Protein backbone atom coordinates (compact mmCIF):
# COMPACT_ATOMS: atom_id res chain seq x y z
CA UNK A 1 0.00 0.00 0.00
CA UNK A 2 1.37 3.40 -0.98
CA UNK A 3 1.12 6.11 1.65
CA UNK A 4 0.01 9.58 0.54
CA UNK A 5 2.47 12.46 0.73
CA UNK A 6 1.85 15.13 3.37
CA UNK A 7 -0.99 17.45 2.29
CA UNK A 8 -1.60 15.35 -0.81
CA UNK A 9 -5.22 14.33 -1.44
CA UNK A 10 -5.96 10.61 -1.14
CA UNK A 11 -7.06 9.40 -4.56
CA UNK A 12 -8.18 5.96 -5.68
CA UNK A 13 -5.15 3.69 -6.23
CA UNK A 14 -6.70 2.63 -9.54
CA UNK A 15 -6.20 6.14 -10.96
CA UNK A 16 -3.16 6.61 -13.19
CA UNK A 17 -1.43 9.34 -15.18
CA UNK A 18 1.94 9.60 -16.90
CA UNK A 19 2.72 12.73 -14.88
CA UNK A 20 2.80 10.60 -11.71
CA UNK A 21 6.30 9.47 -12.69
CA UNK A 22 7.95 12.88 -12.98
CA UNK A 23 9.28 15.45 -10.54
CA UNK A 24 6.81 18.32 -10.21
CA UNK A 25 6.27 21.01 -7.60
CA UNK A 26 2.57 20.18 -7.27
CA UNK A 27 1.67 16.51 -6.64
CA UNK A 28 -0.35 14.99 -9.48
CA UNK A 29 -3.05 13.93 -6.98
CA UNK A 30 -4.26 17.53 -6.72
CA UNK A 31 -5.49 17.44 -10.33
CA UNK A 32 -4.05 20.88 -11.06
CA UNK A 33 -2.24 19.94 -14.29
CA UNK A 34 -3.79 21.31 -17.47
CA UNK A 35 -2.07 18.71 -19.67
CA UNK A 36 -2.29 15.45 -17.70
CA UNK A 37 -4.42 12.61 -18.99
CA UNK A 38 -5.88 10.27 -16.37
CA UNK A 39 -7.25 6.75 -16.70
CA UNK A 40 -8.69 4.07 -14.47
CA UNK A 41 -6.91 0.72 -14.18
CA UNK A 42 -10.25 -1.03 -13.63
CA UNK A 43 -11.53 0.01 -17.06
CA UNK A 44 -8.32 1.11 -18.84
CA UNK A 45 -10.36 4.09 -20.02
CA UNK A 46 -10.71 7.78 -19.12
CA UNK A 47 -13.87 6.84 -17.23
CA UNK A 48 -14.24 4.63 -14.18
CA UNK A 49 -16.59 1.64 -13.71
CA UNK A 50 -19.38 4.10 -12.89
CA UNK A 51 -18.85 5.79 -16.29
CA UNK A 52 -17.75 9.03 -14.62
CA UNK A 53 -14.53 10.85 -15.52
CA UNK A 54 -11.30 9.48 -14.07
CA UNK A 55 -9.72 12.54 -12.46
CA UNK A 56 -8.00 13.20 -9.12
CA UNK A 57 -10.69 15.65 -8.04
CA UNK A 58 -13.36 12.97 -8.56
CA UNK A 59 -11.62 9.68 -7.78
CA UNK A 60 -11.71 10.06 -4.03
CA UNK A 61 -13.31 8.36 -1.07
CA UNK A 62 -17.08 8.49 -1.30
CA UNK A 63 -17.23 7.58 -4.98
CA UNK A 64 -18.92 4.20 -5.50
CA UNK A 65 -15.97 2.60 -7.28
CA UNK A 66 -13.28 3.99 -4.95
CA UNK A 67 -10.88 1.34 -3.63
CA UNK A 68 -8.89 1.83 -0.46
CA UNK A 69 -5.99 -0.37 -1.62
CA UNK A 70 -4.65 -1.39 -5.00
CA UNK A 71 -5.43 -4.96 -6.00
Query: In whole angstroms, what is the distance from residue 27 CA to residue 17 CA?
Result: 12
Contact 11, 60 (CB under 8 A): yes
Query: In whole angstroms, what is the distance from residue 51 CA to residue 67 CA?
Result: 16
Q: What is the pLDDT of residue 42?
A: 97
User: Residue 2 pLDDT > 70, yes or no?
Assistant: no
Residues 6+ apart with CB under 8 A from 53: 46, 47
Check residue 2 and report its DSSP letter.
P
Dump strand ranges (E) for the chain: 15-17, 38-40
Q: Output the pTM of the full model.
A: 0.80
User: Residue 1 pLDDT > 50, yes or no?
Assistant: no
Query: Which pLDDT tens digit goes with each residue over 20-67?
Result: 777 777 888 999 988 899 999 999 999 999 999 999 999 999 999 999
Amino acid sequence: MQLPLTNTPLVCPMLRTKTAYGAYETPWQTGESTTAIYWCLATMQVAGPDEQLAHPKQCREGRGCFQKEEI
